[in-house]
Amino acid sequence: MHTTLTEHARCVFGDEYRPAPECAGNHEEFLFVERLTFADADSILAMLRELCPHIVDGELPVWVRNLAYRLLLLQRPDDPELLREAAHSLYLHGPDWDAIAADLQARADALEAARPRP
């Protein structure tokens, strides 16, 4: 059985950097998507950081990355760093999503501009 979202993703999609652990778990994509859908932001971020440390690398399909960032941003909508990271990922896998990436970048800029400066 998969103990973490990262481990589950590694078993289903593979890992460019480490071998998938041997397990008897079910590797149906829909079971992973169910788990991802209800995962907390820290678990999603840990999966992205471990399986795609340079954003453009890794074995996660683009649709999984896009869904992960969308779910992450729903939980942390006011995090400029995450907004920019999601935008960067979309730019790398676009151009279909360039307008969405630009919107995320603009939201990050607006959030930072509204923050008081020390």
pLDDT tens-digit map of 6-53: 999 999 998 888 887 777 777 889 999 999 999 999 999 999 999 999
pLDDT tens-digit map of 81-116: 999 999 999 999 879 999 999 999 999 999 999 988
| pLDDT, position 41 | 98
Q: Which residue has the tokens 């907004």?
A: 83
User: Of 14, 103, 8, 22, nearest to 57 (Cα)?
Assistant: 14
| pLDDT, position 22 | 78
Amino acid 58 reads G
| pLDDT, position 103 | 98
What is d(CA 10, CA 91) in angstroms, rounded to the nearest whole number?
24
